[in-house]
Amino acid sequence: MRKQDRFILWPQYFDLNRKRSEGRRIPKNQAQQSPRLEELQRAAQRLGLDVEMVPELAYPATPWQKTGILLIGKKGSKLEIMKRIAKEVAIQRSKSPS
């Protein structure tokens, strides 16, 4: 799949601890505490999205943290895909015992 056919999603887009100016892209009521790349990948796979994980990359604002990215096949708008993934992560976190 070509790069133009995929969205790039950083874990920072879903992080409740970040402000919008620090990279969060979804509303706070849908964000999660410190989402991990692996759980975002599992959520995207559960939704039937074409997903590829690249773990060695760092978010530009925090180059010392290698958080990685998800490459998601374009099926709708980027914001809608992010909201669906965030909702799936919230469902899975509520099911798993902490």
Can you give the pLDDT at residue 4? 75
Label residue 51 by pLDDT band (50, 70, 90).
very high
pLDDT, tens digit, for every residue of 2-44?
667 899 999 999 999 999 999 999 999 999 999 999 999 999 9
Contact predicate 83/26, CB 8 Å: yes
Structure tokens at 86: 């965030």
Check whether domain 3-95 has CATH 3.30.56.30, yes or no: yes
- The reported pTM is 0.89
Pairing of strands 6-9, 69-73: antiparallel
Q: What phi and psi, each to the nearest 5 degrees, are found at residue 25?
A: -115, -15
Coil vs helix vs strand at 40: helix
User: For a pLDDT cut of 70, what percent of the chain falls above it?
Assistant: 95
